[in-house]
Amino acid sequence: MIVRKRRSAVALLFAVHGSVLPRIALHILCAGLFGALVAAVDRIHLATVAQYTTSPFTLLGIALSIFLGFRNNAAYDRWWEARKQWGQMVYEVRSLARVSATLLGENDALRRELLDWVSAYAHALRGCLRQLDVSDALRSAVGERHATAALAGRNPADYCMREMGRVVGRAFQAGRVDGQGLRILDERLTGLASVQAATERIWSTPLPYAYTLLVHRTAYLYCYLLPFGLVGSMGWFTPLFTAIVAYTFFGLDALAEELEQPFGETPNALSLDALCRVVDISIAEALGEPAPLPLQPVNHILL
């Protein structure tokens, strides 16, 4: 996730790092060069392509703007829902740390084991959503044997959730908590399971491909047909205005593609590493242990 202080208007105008410009620069250049080619042909052959009006491009541009706006809104909704779910996870973890201390005691061995599994769960879910190897984080949380068992399954996060349930079950069977305490602890685990289900739903259900393909193709067709409508009135300025329009439409298309998968590793994706570190800090402080430092942005990007 990009983390930058608000800059001046002039600085924002020329900012490149953290934007989608590097991804679409070649496409903008190609559209501008095509506009230059159309302008050159028009001038050399004495207005052979200047007979087209801008009316069709105006109508198509309005429709394309609506489609791109709808797609970007849908992509941002996915991104924001994903962020809310991870925020809910932090809430559930802190609530579980608090009520477990009340019900089991600050220094109880079962409580420590439960919170260790919570830390492993957060990292396992991050690994599932990003398709990353998180074996080191799991070993640090629950040890080599348990980490190997968790990673052997198809869903390590679900394995960690089951282990948390077993720890709570052992506490109930040993008489450490009564039925009411069991219900309270189970509610927190249910909240974590809800977060997992919601994030897996977002990860496994992208926006309809046919709609994305339609918007993508229309944006490219519009930008490459636009010079024919501009050359009659703009002349040699046709490449400039074509490049500006291409930057807008290609940029919105690329940005929506990044936001559509909020758990990826693109600059605009969620900072799952930093959120897992927040979970680790909360657990360490709840156990009275030295807490790790929060992650800091590197080149204005927080992983």
* DSSP letter string, 73-137: HHHHHHHHHHHHHHHHHHHHHHHHHHHHHHHH-TT-HHHHHHHHHHHHHHHHHHHHHHT---HHH
Residue 91 confidence class, pLDDT cut points 50, 70, 90:
very high
pLDDT at 16 over 70: no
Reduce the DSSP state of residue 303 to 3 states and report it.
coil
Percent of the chain with pLDDT over 70: 90
Residue 197 confidence class, pLDDT cut points 50, 70, 90:
very high
Identity at 125, one-letter amino acid code: L
Q: End-to-end CA distance of the chain, in Å?
A: 6
pLDDT at 169 over 70: yes
- The residues with which 2 forms a beta bridge, in sequence order, are 301
pLDDT at 265 over 60: yes
Largest CA distance in the chain: 93
pTM above 0.75, yes or no: yes
Helix axis angle, 156-173 relative to 144-152, nearest 10°? Answer: 120
Mean pLDDT of 85-99: 92
Cα→Cα distances 128→83, 140, 155, Å: 16, 18, 7
Residue 58 confidence class, pLDDT cut points 50, 70, 90:
confident
The pLDDT, as a whole number, for residue 198 is: 94
The pLDDT, as a whole number, for residue 117 is: 92
Mean pLDDT for the chain overall: 85
Instruction: Give me the residue spans of the domains in the chain.
Output: 9-286
Pairwise CA distance, residues 94 & 59, whole Å: 53
The pLDDT, as a whole number, for residue 51 is: 61
The pLDDT, as a whole number, for residue 164 is: 92
Percent of the chain with pLDDT over 90: 25
Mean pLDDT of 169-197: 90
Phi, psi (degrees; rounded to nearest 5) at 2: -80, 130
What ranges make up the beta strands (E) of the chain? none
The pLDDT, as a whole number, for residue 208 is: 83
Residue pLDDT, tens place only, 198-242: 999 999 888 888 888 888 888 888 888 888 887 877 778 888 888
Reduce the DSSP state of residue 298 to 3 states and report it.
strand
Buried b (16+ CB within 10 A) or exposed e, 58-91: eebbeebeebbeebbebbeebbeebeebbebbbe
Cα→Cα distances 177→71, 96, 127, 225, Å: 49, 14, 33, 71
Token duo for residue 238? 């046709």
What helix, strand, coil percent values describe the chain, rounded to 5?
A: 75, 0, 25
Instruction: Mention every residue, 6+ apart, whose C-beta is less than 8 A from residue 242.
Output: 31, 32, 34, 35, 223, 226, 227, 230
Residue pLDDT, tens place only, 121-152: 999 999 999 888 888 888 888 888 888 888 88
Q: Which residue has the higher pLDDT, 123 or 266?
A: 123
